[in-house]
Amino acid sequence: MKEHDVADLRNVAFVGHGGSGKTSLCEAFLYNGKATTRLGKVEDGTSIFDHSPEEIQRKITIALSVGHFEWKDCLFNVIDTPGYADFVGDVKASLAVVDSAILTMRAAGGVEVGTVRMWDFIEANSLPAFLCVTMMDKEHADFWACVQGASDAFSKRVLPVILPIGAGESFSGVVDVVSMKAFTYSDHGKFTEQKELPDEVRQRAEEAREKLIDGVAEGDDALLEKYLENGTLEAGEIVEGLQKSFAKGDVIPAVAVSGHRGTGVQHLLDLLSTVLPSPSDRGPVEGVSPGSDNKIELKPQASEPFCGLVFKTVSEPHVGELSLVRVFSGKLQSGSDAYNSTKGKAEKIGQLFRLQGKDRKEVASLGPGEFGAAVKLRDTSTGDTLCSQAKRIKLVPIEFPAPVLSEALKPKAKGDEEKIANGLSRLKEEDPTFTVVADPELRQTLLNGMGELHLEVIIGKLKDRFGVEVDIVKPKVPYRETIRGKAEVQGRYKKQTGGRGQYGDVWIKMEPRKRGEGFEFENLIVGGAIPSKYIPAVQKGVEESSREGVLAGYPMVDFKISLFDGSFHTVDSSDLAFKIAGSMAFKKAALQAKPILLEPIMEVEVTVPDECMGDVMGDLSSKRGKILGMDSRGTMQQVRAFVPQAELYKYSTNLRSLTQGRGSHTAKFASYEEVPRELTEKVVADSKQKEE
């Protein structure tokens, strides 16, 4: 493969709802660009991009995959991303390192929940995007309904530029709106030019061209002047205007295509090679000097100091870990020294590879704007910045989403705990979107991820790669206890067993504090009723006892203890005696001060189609949810609510069932609130039963 100037690079990520044809379109691009000799297919397990055992078995994309091909003197670096919400971390990683995006939409599906989510990510990264209406050869395909849906849902003007001829089985070709020519494709993706537009698309094409000229002229004063003077624009002027408007993110060009058949692919590639911005067009990338807020600009030039972002870590059998990196400036060379500015560690760069799915080709260096993989970096992980030792810079880290589902893990075989911990630690390097928490309070190891499928895949990898099996059990809810009333009590500990005894005597006052204010201990002893050396022991006794509460064994929070009186014995008093006295006093006071149970409340944001709103709202209400508000996003609605954590177990599965797979949600901790009395009784009873 010849060397390419930075201006000839086209770095693009394919994103979209699950099953919207991203991988098939990527495969068609590589096949047409002669990077492969056979059109890979997801359904028969021959895809270059979906190559892991989990992906072949499930026939879905689970992890991002990188490929490249040449077209019209341009080098395309493409990233195929997962469409399922469970694997959205790789989408965010991909969009952080490309210069544009292709948003795929099923011709028979229109705007789906994943479409809206991906558009939000595209906007958050300030990327220009193409809308590819895929699977035009499938039943019920409707290009124009998709365009209208996108226009309603997105904040930018959607401009059709490649229109379909026919739909479903009769999808036979495309119309190029710029040249106003029609092209018929054979089953193998080859086309023949037609001079005349078919009658059935002529009116649509003329309307689309008028809209296209309007759209591109608005973003350029010179073009607008020509348009007002002449009433139209030449083809070259339209393309020039589209380039500028697209680069600024003002418009979303829409195209009709079938990756599976190849229909429209070559015309789409022609358009992309012309319109997509190069790294040079996108301009400098901004970072900061490590340890400060001093901003530094990085130009995509080989003469600049090296800087790149690691956006994915992959574990390869017989090779080790591969760190996938996008070079933003300078050159990354095999055998060179680099600096990890995120970790503050030096790295030695060994072998470098250019990737084509799972296949690798060794290269001596990677230039600005290029993608590749470095082998066995010692201290580098996903999201880290690599740069030159001479000019240290830190790029904006990738912002990964918080997990939405928790399960507790239980080893199937005794003694496997260490193997499980090591396996999860290795998998965590590849996938930052799951967390593992050993909760000493609940005595459970919690695996937190983006959904049931996500956790299934992790547990499957544990078994296949590390030979350990685990069972999944329902996680316990981290309840808390507190008080509503006040109490004054004595805690007196006296023990005489011949010889030296034990004696500690305290009087405490217990009262509630505001939610979230925590525990406060106040020493009001005057006149030496208790020597000052024993006061810390009293506080320690209270704190230790409060970790198990008095109702159901959960930690007690948000209360104040005032130690105001007591007595001691010159011989028998000790730290231990006063610690026990403090513990006794706490338990007695807590029982008298109207103890109550608190539960964690989560702030939940649910995205659902309009027609599912009633079912979802009813379901949230049945889960004791409090609706905070709603926002409309085209055909989708976003509902915000407070919902008790106890009601959210496997909610992602429940939501997908209610919305035919089109709903998604995020959840984050909001506060603790009092548990209703009837539920408190149930929790307390369950706790006592487990103790017995």
Q: pLDDT per residue over 523-571, tens digit each? A: 999 888 999 999 999 999 999 999 999 999 999 999 999 999 999 998 8
Q: What is the pLDDT of residues 25-67, one digit of tens each?
A: 999 999 999 999 888 888 888 899 988 888 888 999 999 999 9
Q: Which residue has the tokens 């997509």?
A: 276
Question: What tokens does 560 get?
Answer: 């104040």
In a domain, 234, yes or no: yes
Q: Are residues 510 and 646 in the same domain?
A: no
**Higher pLDDT among residues 402 and 408, named by residue:** 408
- The residue length of the chain stands at 692
**Mean model confidence pLDDT for the chain:** 91
Percent of the chain surpassing pLDDT 90? 69
DSSP line for 159-178? EEEEEEES-GGG--EEEETT
Rg (CA), the chain: 31
Q: Tell me: pLDDT of 224 over 90.
A: no
Q: Which residue has the tokens 């995509």?
A: 300
Separation of alpha carbons 68 and 9, rounded Å: 10
CB neighbours of 232 closer than 8 A, spacing ≥ 6? Answer: 213
Question: What tokens does 256 get?
Answer: 């009709």
- Where residue 353 sits, what CATH number does that domain have? 2.40.30.10
Q: Which residue has the tokens 């004696």?
A: 503
Separation of alpha carbons 171 and 258, rounded Å: 9
Position 164, amino acid: P
- Where residue 466 sits, what CATH number does that domain have? 3.30.70.870
In a domain, 303, yes or no: yes
The one-character DSSP state at 555 is: P
In a domain, 373, yes or no: yes
Separation of alpha carbons 84 and 21, rounded Å: 12
**SS3 category, 256:** strand
Q: Are residues 453 and 387 in the same domain?
A: no
Three state DSSP letters for 289-314: CCCCCCEEEECCCCCCCCEEEEEEEE
Instruction: Check residue 52 and give its pLDDT.
Output: 87
Furthest-apart CA atoms within the chain: distance in Å: 113
Q: Nearest-5° angle of CA 281, CA 286, CA 288?
A: 165
- Where residue 524 sits, what CATH number does that domain have? 3.30.230.10
Alpha helices in 467-560 (DSSP H): 535-546
Position 523, amino acid: N
Position 47, amino acid: S
Q: Are residues 10 and 143 in the same domain?
A: yes
**Residue 205: exposure state from Cβ atoms within 10 A (0-12, 13-18, ≥19):** buried
In a domain, 199, yes or no: yes
The one-character DSSP state at 42 is: T
Which residue, 279, 301, 329, sits at the end of a domain?
Answer: 279
Q: Tell me: pLDDT of 413 over 70.
A: yes
Q: Are residues 585 and 613 in the same domain?
A: no
Q: Are residues 32 and 117 in the same domain?
A: yes
Instruction: Check residue 688 and give its pLDDT.
Output: 82
Q: Are residues 157 and 170 in the same domain?
A: yes
**Residue 58: exposure state from Cβ atoms within 10 A (0-12, 13-18, ≥19):** middle
pLDDT band for 119, please (50, 70, 90 cuts). very high
Q: Are residues 519 and 649 in the same domain?
A: no
Instruction: Check residue 54 and give its pLDDT.
Output: 87
CA nearest neighbour of 606 among 353, 404, 368: 404
Q: Are residues 390 and 434 in the same domain?
A: no
Q: Range of 567's domain?
A: 481-593
Q: What is the pLDDT of residues 86-100, one digit of tens each?
A: 899 999 999 999 999
Q: Are residues 625 and 642 in the same domain?
A: yes
- Residue 107's Cβ-side half-sphere holds a number of Cα atoms within 13 Å equal to 26
Instruction: Check residue 263 and give its pLDDT.
Output: 93
Separation of alpha carbons 204 and 210, rounded Å: 10
In a domain, 291, yes or no: yes
Separation of alpha carbons 415 and 313, rounded Å: 29
Which residue, 374, 395, 416, sits at the end of a domain?
Answer: 395
Which residue, 279, 298, 330, sits at the end of a domain?
Answer: 279
Bridge-based pairing of strands 307-316 and 320-329 is: antiparallel
Torsion of CA 467, 468, 471, 475, to 10 degrees: -130
What is the rounded average pLDDT of the residues 576-580?
96
pLDDT band for 383, please (50, 70, 90 cuts). very high
In a domain, 400, yes or no: no
- Residue 14 near residue 80 (C-beta atoms within 8 A): yes
What is the rounded average pLDDT of the residues 578-606?
96
Instruction: Check residue 1 and give its pLDDT.
Output: 58
CA nearest neighbour of 339 among 324, 349, 328: 349
Helices vs. strands in the chain: H and E counts, helices first: 17, 36
- Where residue 642 sits, what CATH number does that domain have? 3.30.70.240
- Residue 329 near residue 305 (C-beta atoms within 8 A): yes
Q: Are residues 50 and 172 in the same domain?
A: yes
Lowest mean pLDDT among 187-191, 225-229, 365-369, 404-408: 187-191
Q: Is the dihedral of CA 144, 146, 152, 154 positive or negative?
A: negative
In a domain, 1, yes or no: no
Instruction: Check residue 687 and give its pLDDT.
Output: 83
* Distance from chain centroid for Cα 60: 17
Question: What tokens does 21 get?
Answer: 């044809």
- Residue 411 near residue 417 (C-beta atoms within 8 A): yes
In a domain, 588, yes or no: yes
Separation of alpha carbons 69 and 79, rounded Å: 12
Q: Are residues 79 and 200 in the same domain?
A: yes
Separation of alpha carbons 191 and 477, rounded Å: 61
Q: Are residues 457 and 485 in the same domain?
A: no
Total domains, the chain: 5
Count the neighbouring beta carbons within 10 Å of the beta carbon of residue 436: 17
Q: Which residue has the tokens 């704007």?
A: 369
